[in-house]
């Protein structure tokens, strides 16, 4: 997909693409051949509209049921890009022998509708991964818990590396957060702000007997102390605080004009041209959800048409 203006990838909204999963397939949890075939099947089912996210996995709990080493998750994720290109290449049967994956003379049963493969995404703020993405033509992005002011310098470097690699199209850089649109700012805030502060409750460990929500949040915040990212640690410690989210425009809630203005300002500060919107969050009632999606599609998207943050 070309990127003439800021566009959205949003479940339920009128878009041309579908993004897989919250951020993508957790590559280390799959056998590479099975994952390649699953990707091809999904792209065929969608008529060539798939956007493919590949991620190493952010939570060690994902790995325990499989008996896999959480610390060894990055290498197979990056190597899978080469594996995918071999599996979807013009030579069949194909072979691949890397550090992580080995396949000998195997013919993949299904090829994707998009050739050579669906557009690739890796949500990351890691400089080395961003360098890999630029070299391999992979669209990156980040989540609301990483400060936009911290992300912008890293993504400027990414854009320089992308240009240096000679890719013919501008990359897409995504920002993922909660979005709620209503007829007025007041109505939007009343309906959605507190719910937005509970959108990511799944980050927390299951409650222990007698443990309060506040105690769960405090235990969660301790995990991010000492990671060398004070801005991200602060946001993570406040991701369940509605006043903090609203004050720092970490969620986009308001009337169509307000949401469009918030997105423009955030895109300029954070250097992104793609919104991955979380529209269905917490216990938001279906009528409000559908109204938000409709207003976003009918009024917010047209307000962003033609806007290019980079």
- pLDDT tens profile 227-262: 678 888 889 889 999 999 999 999 999 999 999 999
> In angstroms, what CA-CA distances link 53 with 23, 155, 247?
6, 18, 30
- List the domain boundaries for the chain: 1-17+141-310, 19-118
What crossing angle do the helices spanning 286-295 and 185-196 adopt, rounded to 10°? Answer: 120
**pLDDT for res 236:** 86
∠ Cα 156 157 160 (to 5°): 90
Answer yes or no: are the C-beta atoms of 253 and 179 closer than 8 Å.
yes
| This prediction's pTM | 0.87
**pLDDT for res 226:** 62
Please, which pLDDT band fits residue 178 given cuts at 50, 70 and 90?
very high
Buried b (16+ CB within 10 A) or exposed e, 127-153: eebbebbbeebbbbbbbbbbbbeebbe
- pLDDT tens profile 123-162: 999 999 999 999 999 999 999 999 999 999 999 999 999 9
Three-class secondary structure of residue 127 per DSSP: helix
Tokens (6 digits) for 125:
């703020």
Answer yes or no: are the C-beta atoms of 195 and 170 closer than 8 Å.
no
**pLDDT for res 62:** 83
Cα separation of 291 and 182, whole Å?
A: 7
Give yes or no for residue 6 having a pLDDT over 60.
Answer: no
**pLDDT for res 222:** 76
Give yes or no for residue 77 having a pLDDT over 80.
Answer: yes
What crossing angle do the helices spanning 230-238 and 213-222 adopt, rounded to 10°? Answer: 170
- pLDDT tens profile 188-224: 999 999 999 999 988 887 888 989 988 888 877 777 6
């Amino acid at each position: 997909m070309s990127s003439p203006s800021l566009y959205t990838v949003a479940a339920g909204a009128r878009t041309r693409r579908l993004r897989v999963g919250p951020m993508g397939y957790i590559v280390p949890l799959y056998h590479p051949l099975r994952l390649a075939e699953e990707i091809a099947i999904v792209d065929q089912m969608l008529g060539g509209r798939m956007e493919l996210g590949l991620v190493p996995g952010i939570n060690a709990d994902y790995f325990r049921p499989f008996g896999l080493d959480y610390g060894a998750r990055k290498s197979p994720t990056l190597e899978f890009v080469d594996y995918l290109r071999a599996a979807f290449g013009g030579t069949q049967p194909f072979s691949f022998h890397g550090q992580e994956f080995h396949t000998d003379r195997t013919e993949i049963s299904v090829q994707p509708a998009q050739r050579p493969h669906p557009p690739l995404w890796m949500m990351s703020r890691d400089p080395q991964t961003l360098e890999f993405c630029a070299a391999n033509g992979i669209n990156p992005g980040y989540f609301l818990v990483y400060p936009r002011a911290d992300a912008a310098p890293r993504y400027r470097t990414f854009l320089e590396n992308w240009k240096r690699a000679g890719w013919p199209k501008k990359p897409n850089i995504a920002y993922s957060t909660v979005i709620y649109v209503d007829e007025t700012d007041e109505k939007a805030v009343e309906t959605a702000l507190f719910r937005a502060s509970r959108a990511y409750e799944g980050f927390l460990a299951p409650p222990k007997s007698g443990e309060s929500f506040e105690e769960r949040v405090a235990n969660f915040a301790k995990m991010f102390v000492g990671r060398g990212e004070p801005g991200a640690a602060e946001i993570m410690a406040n991701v369940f605080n509605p006043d903090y989210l609203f004050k720092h425009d970490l969620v986009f809630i308001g009337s169509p004009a307000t949401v469009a203005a918030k997105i423009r300002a955030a895109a300029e500060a954070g250097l992104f041209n793609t919104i991955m919107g979380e529209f269905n969050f917490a216990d938001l009632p279906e009528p409000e959800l559908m109204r938000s999606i409709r207003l976003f599609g009918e009024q917010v998207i047209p307000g962003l048409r033609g806007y290019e943050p980079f």
